C-alpha cells in the first residue's frame, strides 16, 4: 500500500500529492513505525519538489520521524538544513 501511494504521489498535482503523502506519513509513522526505515529515503526525496507546500510537508515529516526515532536526526540533519535554507 505504501509503495502504491508513493508511486501515485510522484505523478499527481500538488494538492493531491500532499494528501497522499499525509496518508503515507500516517501509515509509516503512526500505524506501523517498522516501515519508517524502509520508506524514509522515498519520503525525503520529495524535498526537491518544486512546490513549497510539499517541501514544508517534508520538514514536518522529518520532525515527526525524529520524534519516533531520535537517532534519525543525525541522518537527516543535512536534509533539514537544506530545506530550512530554502
Q: What is the pTM of this model?
A: 0.91
The number of beta carbons lying within 10 Å of the beta carbon of residue 10 is 12
- Euclidean distance between CA atoms 68 and 60, whole angstroms: 13
Q: pLDDT band for position 84 (50/70/90)?
A: confident
**CA 8 – CA 17 distance, rounded (Å):** 8
Cell of 83: 530545506
**What average pLDDT does the segment 20-24 reach?**
98
Q: pLDDT tens across 50-77, in order?
A: 999 999 999 999 999 999 999 999 999 9
Q: How far apart are CA 39 and CA 25, in angstroms?
A: 10
| Domain boundaries along the sequence of the chain | 2-85
pLDDT confidence of residue 69: 93
Task: Name the grid cell of 74.
Answer: 543525525
| Residue showing cell 499527481 | 12
Amino acid at each position: 500500500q505504501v509503495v502504491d501511494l508513493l508511486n501515485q504521489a510522484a505523478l499527481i498535482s500538488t494538492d493531491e500529492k500532499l494528501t497522499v503523502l499525509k496518508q503515507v506519513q500516517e501509515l509509516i509513522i503512526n500505524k506501523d513505525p517498522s516501515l519508517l526505515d524502509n520508506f524514509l529515503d522515498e519520503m525525503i526525496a520529495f524535498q526537491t519538489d518544486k512546490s513549497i507546500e510539499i517541501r514544508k510537508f517534508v520538514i514536518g515529516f522529518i520532525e515527526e520521524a525524529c520524534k519516533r526515532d531520535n537517532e534519525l536526526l543525525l541522518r537527516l540533519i543535512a536534509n533539514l538544513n537544506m530545506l530550512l535554507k530554502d
